[in-house]
Amino acid sequence: MIDEARAASEDPVFADMPTFRVGAAAGLRPLPAWKRAADFLFVQVSYSVDALLRWRDAHPVELPVYAGVMVLASAGMARCLAATIPDIDIPDDLVQAVERDRTAGVEAACDQVLQLRDSGAFAGVHLVPVSRYRQVATRLEDLL
């Protein structure tokens, strides 16, 4: 599939366009060999920096890897994510903090971005601010 996507970029329709770059998504489990042929990887959202770093250490690859970071907007969102995304770890203390103060999810996501940046283990993050884009942007502009 990855080779087919790359080959499509050679179609004359795309002659004046840059070559396609093909990414793959990775869960927090063993990385299938075929995904290593991608140009970059997005690792699934996790609310645990330690889990992301353990996954990165266990799966060394020579391509850019971006960690998934998502703002937790509510306790209901936490329950929905836990029920639908395999291997996701949402700490109880984060869920409780978000129940008390909805901005806690923004603070936690921004803190996670900084920790991942400082770890040097990832090329960047795939940030999903949910409905908190302005809050996240303002907070990260202050921190970065």
pTM of the prediction?
A: 0.88
CA 127 from chain center: how many Å? 6
Statement: residue 44 has pLDDT above 90: yes
Identify the pLDDT of residue 77. Answer: 92
> What is the residue-averaged pLDDT of the chain?
91
List, for residues 105-132, the tens digit of each pLDDT value: 999 999 999 999 999 999 999 999 988 8
Beta bridge partners of 24: 41
Identify the pLDDT of residue 65. Answer: 98
Choose the weakest-confidence range: 16-20, 22-26, 31-35, 139-143. Answer: 16-20
For residues 62-85, give the mean pLDDT.
93
CA 80 from chain center: how many Å? 18
Identify the pLDDT of residue 72. Answer: 94
Do the Cβ atoms of 126 and 73 come closer than 8 Å?
no
* Cα distances (angstroms) measured from residue 53 to each of 5, 48, 104: 30, 9, 23
**DSSP calls for 65-134:** EEEEEE----HHHHHHHHHHSTT----HHHHHHHHH-TTHHHHHHHHHHHHHHHH--SSEEEEE-TT-HH
Statement: residue 71 has pLDDT above 90: yes
Identify the pLDDT of residue 36. Answer: 93
Give the pLDDT band (50/70/90) at residue 79: confident
Identify the pLDDT of residue 46. Answer: 93
